[in-house]
Amino acid sequence: MKLCFKSKQGKLGFGYAFIIISLNIILIRISLEMINWNKNFYNALEKYDMQAVIKQLLVFIMLTFFGAITYLIIEYLRKTLVITWRKVLNDTIINHWLNHKAYWFINNNQANIDNPDQRISEDCLLFIERLTNEGFSFITQFIGLFSYFMLLWQITDNFVLEFSLFNIDISISHYLIWLAPIYVILTSYVAHKLGSPLKNLIIQQQHLEANYRFVLTRFREAKESIALLEGEQVEQQQFDQHFDSIVKNWYKLIKRQFILGCFTRPYYLTVLSIPTFFSLPIYLIGKVSLGSLMQISKSFSNVVTNLSWFIFNYNKLAELIACSYRLSQFIQQSEKVSYQFKQLNQVENGDECLLLENLIINKPDGKILLKLPDLHINKGESVVLSGASGIGKSTLFKIISGLYPYYDGVVKVPKFKKLFLSQNAYFPMGGLAHAVSYPEPLFEKDLTVIKQLLLDVGFSSENIDKNLLNDNLNTLSGGEKQRLVIARILMHKPDWIFMDETTNALDKVAEKQLLKLLQTNLPTSSFIIISHSDISNYFNKCYQLNLS
């Protein structure tokens, strides 16, 4: 809740919350009037007073009308509050996920955080839903409990339960007042013992469902490769394995819910009748009228119902606790890993050069991956890095970018504008123009420049016009995607460009043309290129460095 105090939108939500609680208090008042109505209505029936019966029916209609209107307003405001606070929580989670590249470090630190997309999209909504629904319900029930207690105390002021036990005379004044909490405490304890395993089962179910969605999404994204390899049978086995895990946990969950329901459902069906049975002795001995009996019964029922809030909401409370645990764990781990890696990160800001001294790249387990010779590259100079696959070339780029802390030595990076391009080109949702402008947002004023750049790197006018703003980049070939990457470099004109095999899908002629295009348009930029080919002759002041 403290997150909501930190934003204007969150504070507005507390205004909604205040109105909702105030309206719930009005509902309590209407409920108290309904209790009084029970007394007056049944007394009129007992006396066969038709005029009084008709009057009480009109009162009932009026109370029902105002009660329904108040409830509908409460629900409208509560749902408005849900989306208001959900946005605050969503923004907070997203910020923690993105700040200091926590999304990267969590994934590469084996942190116990699975499916962050589910935590952001589903857990945030479910948490706010449960918080506003069960939270306001608890506040209302707590306030109403005192009101019903006071009313029950007043109307049972003269009721004394007298009996003998082991030859001892016992007299209990207001016995219904004491009977209600004793009854509910005992039943709540039973409900908790039966339902306590639900929390872990719900967390596990959410985890398994998210994993299954991830496998399906991964299949959809890789459908072309799977189709070419005819890997449907293996994919089917993976689907079956994940879904079987869901089924197994689902049966455990519904078994536990069934066990809990064997107690809570009969309790729910009898909770409104039990008070009448407890109050019946007073009526049978002639101390109260039928109307007073119904008033007492209704008051006692409301007390018991309010005290039974924990029993009725046990499943939803378990969901709330599970969501709260997952979200708090996500925030804590995001802060933890980003802080740890920030502390471990030894990259220093240099002036105009890239400097590597005594650099030893280690694996996360401490084993040495690669030892590099000292490297000093001034602005305007370039180098092509080559070597066997898996030797650590891509890891070197991660070190320079600050994403990999497992190394010894000195790394000083230039302070000028840098652009890192990985082996697997990433494009945001959108068309060709969005892909070229990334990682900057697309502005309409840049469209003319982007069109020309796309022509320069080899896209046809027809293709550009068709896909400039349409989200249809999945149909591009590997070579076309790498042409987009070259266009992106030309668009942003960085001083330092780090390219990890970003031209390996092009034929030699196209590769030569595009690298020459880069050199011509960015003559003062430095290129650090990982490539298995000798392309150093395409750049000025460039040499080939073989890592071994």
Long-range contacts of 118-123 (CB under 8 A, 24+ apart): 118/206, 118/209, 118/210, 118/213, 119/93, 119/326, 119/327, 119/330, 120/90, 120/93, 120/94, 122/206, 123/206, 123/323, 123/326, 123/327
Q: Is residue 274 part of a domain?
A: yes
406, 291: one domain:
no
* 345 in a structural domain: no
CA dihedral 499→505→509→513, nearest 10 degrees, is -40
Same domain, 296 and 329: yes
pLDDT at residue 249, rounded to an integer: 92
Whether residue 444 is found in the same domain as residue 325:
no
SS (H, E, C) 90-128: HHHHHHHHHHHHHHHHHHHCCCCCCCHHHHHHHHHHHHH
Please tell me whether residues 292 and 373 are part of one structural domain: no
* Residue that finishes a domain, picked among 338, 372, 392: 338
Same domain, 281 and 374: no
Question: 400 and 316, same structural domain?
Answer: no
Tell me, yes or no, whether 100 lies in a domain: yes
Domain termination site, one of 338, 373, 389: 338
442 DSSP 8-state letter: P
- Cβ atoms of residues 530 and 524 within 8 Å: no
| Encoded amino acid at 531, one letter | S
| Four-residue CA torsion sign, 470, 476, 480, 482 | positive
Token reading at 345:
């990160």
Per-position DSSP letters for 235-251, written without gaps between them:
HHHHHHHHHHHHHHHHH
200-to-97, 197, 206, 314, 456 alpha-carbon distances in Å: 25, 6, 10, 14, 58
Domain termination site, one of 312, 338, 364: 338
Per-residue pLDDT of the chain (548 residues; tens, 9 = 90+): 566 666 677 778 888 888 998 998 898 888 878 877 877 888 888 778 888 888 888 988 998 899 899 989 998 998 888 888 888 888 888 887 887 777 777 766 555 566 677 777 778 888 888 888 888 878 877 777 777 777 767 766 666 666 666 777 666 666 666 777 777 778 778 887 888 888 788 878 878 888 888 888 878 777 766 776 677 788 888 888 889 999 999 998 888 888 888 887 787 667 666 666 766 766 676 666 666 667 777 777 777 777 777 777 777 787 788 788 888 888 888 777 766 666 555 565 666 788 888 888 888 888 888 888 888 888 888 888 888 888 888 888 888 888 888 888 888 888 888 888 888 888 888 889 998 998 888 888 889 999 999 999 988 888 888 888 887 777 788 888 888 999 999 999 999 999 888 888 888 888 888 888 988 898 888 888 888 777 777 777 777 777 76
Give the E-state strand segments of 92-231 in sequence order. 160-165, 168-173
Residue 301's domain comprises 1-338
244 residue type, one letter: D
Per the domain annotation, does 346 fall within a domain?
no
CATH classification at residue 250: 1.20.1560.10
Judge if 47 and 119 occupy the same domain: yes
Statement to judge: residues 238 and 358 lie in one domain? no
The torsion angles phi and psi of 158, rounded to 5 degrees, stand at: -100, 10
Which secondary structure element, helix H or strand E, spans residue 308, and what is its range? none
Q: Are the CB atoms for 506 and 514 separated by under 8 Å?
A: yes
**330 in a domain, yes or no?**
yes
Total domains in the fold of the chain = 2
Closest CA to 212 of 176, 238, 242: 242
Q: 62 and 129 share a domain?
A: yes
CATH number of the domain that residue 440 is part of = 3.40.50.300
Enter the tokens of residue 364. 């996360």
Tokens of 510: 């196209």
Which two three-digit tokens encode residue 305? 């119902």
Beta-sheet strands, E only, within 348-466: 348-349, 353-362, 368-371, 375-378, 382-387, 407-413, 418-421
pTM (two decimals)? 0.66
22, part of any domain: yes
Asked if residue 237 and residue 382 are part of one domain, the reply reads no
Residue where the block lists tokens 């078994």: 255
Q: Does residue 15 lie within any of the structural domains? A: yes
Does residue 388 share a domain with residue 302? no
Identify whether 344 is part of a domain: no
Same domain, 70 and 122: yes
The rounded distance, in Å, linking the Cα atoms of 465 and 470 is: 9
